[in-house]
Structure 1
Amino acid sequence: MTKAVIFGNSASGKSTLAQRMSTDAGLAHLDLDTLAWQATTPPQRKPLRESSVEIAAFTQSHKDWVIEGCYADLIALAAPFAEELIFLDLSVDACVAHAHARPWESHKYASKDAQDANLEMLLGWIKDYPNRNDSCSRVAHLELFEVFAGKKTQVTTPTDALLQAVSDN
């Protein structure tokens, strides 16, 4: 049985690792981006109680699953259901390189051009990760990781992330 939560900076490889685990081990996959935001312009976060209901429904309706995202407040809601946390704690430089190489995320953007138009904002967000104090910051991720009592893995290189996914599942 696998119940894993993957978190880290934007472009750290969360989606790639979760998709690989989902495919290789037949896990249901939840990308927290899909439930964190209201469909408004400009986008606004959903109330935590709404996201909490969706996370609980997902974890209870699947025997084996992987959840991934950068939102410490949402990860904290999923963690009590999880057996394992995987913290993709890559360098900012590695995340920037991943952002430049990122394929089109059709579930987030209408086109690759629309995604690329957002790249400069994303790069700024990635670079600010160690300095922020919000729910998507490194400090928030470290706090989650430190208090989790189950199996936990802190990955510091992209190669480690891929090897971890393959070896554990």
Structure 2
Amino acid sequence: MRLLILGNSGSGKSTLAKAVAERHGLPHLDLDIIVWEPEQIAVPRSPEAVRTDLDAFIAAHPGWVIEGCYGELVEAAAPACTELVFLNPGLEACLANNRRRPWEPHKYVSAEAQDAMLDHLQRWVEGYYSRDDAWSLAAHRRVFDRHPGRKREATGTLSATDLT
């Protein structure tokens, strides 16, 4: 299984990816880990370094779960996946999930630092539906619609048992 999951922040990508990876004993790559400088908030790494790390992860593992909102990276990984999943539960679900999100120590130095970014994150999530960048609904829809392989769009909740 080489599962690629995309969607808005708060759509459930990380939760689903972790559950599938655990269920099937697969390595899991949260694209946030390679996109941003370690222990820095919203400081991007070079696109070349990010792409090198993505390609290396895909080459190093016969099976995997990759997830993120970065349309250009999802599109780059899509030819190697066996299934593309687009999580699209809607704005209210994403906002509610972000409010319930536990501390992510791999992204923030403290729970307080994460909480301090919540308002900014929620505004960014709201903009998903109107902007047209690589991290928008429009970009995700294009990646999903163009993908010639196995794919599914979920507007509700998916569980690891739904993806076997």
TM-score by length of 1: 0.91
Gapped runs of 5+ residues in structure 1? none
CA contact (8 A) 2:84 2:144 kept: yes
CA contact (8 A) 1:109 1:115 kept: yes
Residue in structure 2 matched with residue 126 of structure 1 by the alignment: 125
CA distance in 2, matches of 1:77, 1:33: 15
CA contact (8 A) 1:48 1:74 kept: no
Displacement of 1:40 in angstroms is: 8.9
CA distance in 1, matches of 2:63, 2:71: 21
SS of the residue aligned with 2:138? helix
CA contact (8 A) 2:84 2:150 kept: yes
1:47 maps onto 2:46 in alignment: yes
> How does 1:138-149 map onto structure 2 within 5 Å?
138-149=137-148
CA contact (8 A) 2:4 2:85 kept: yes
Q: Higher mean Cα deviation, 32-41 or 83-92?
A: 32-41
Residue in structure 2 matched with residue 27 of structure 1 by the alignment: 26
SS of the residue aligned with 1:67? strand
CA distance in 2, matches of 1:104, 1:66: 21
Q: Higher mean Cα deviation, 31-40 or 41-50?
A: 41-50
Structure 1 residue runs of 4 or more that deviate by more than 3 Å after TM superposition: 38-44
Q: Deviations over 1:139-160 (max 9, x none)?
A: 00000000101110100012xx
CA distance in 2, matches of 1:10, 1:127: 10
Displacement of 1:55 in angstroms is: 1.0
Residue in structure 2 matched with residue 91 of structure 1 by the alignment: 90
C-alpha RMSD of matched pairs (Å): 1.5
**How many residue pairs were aligned?**
164
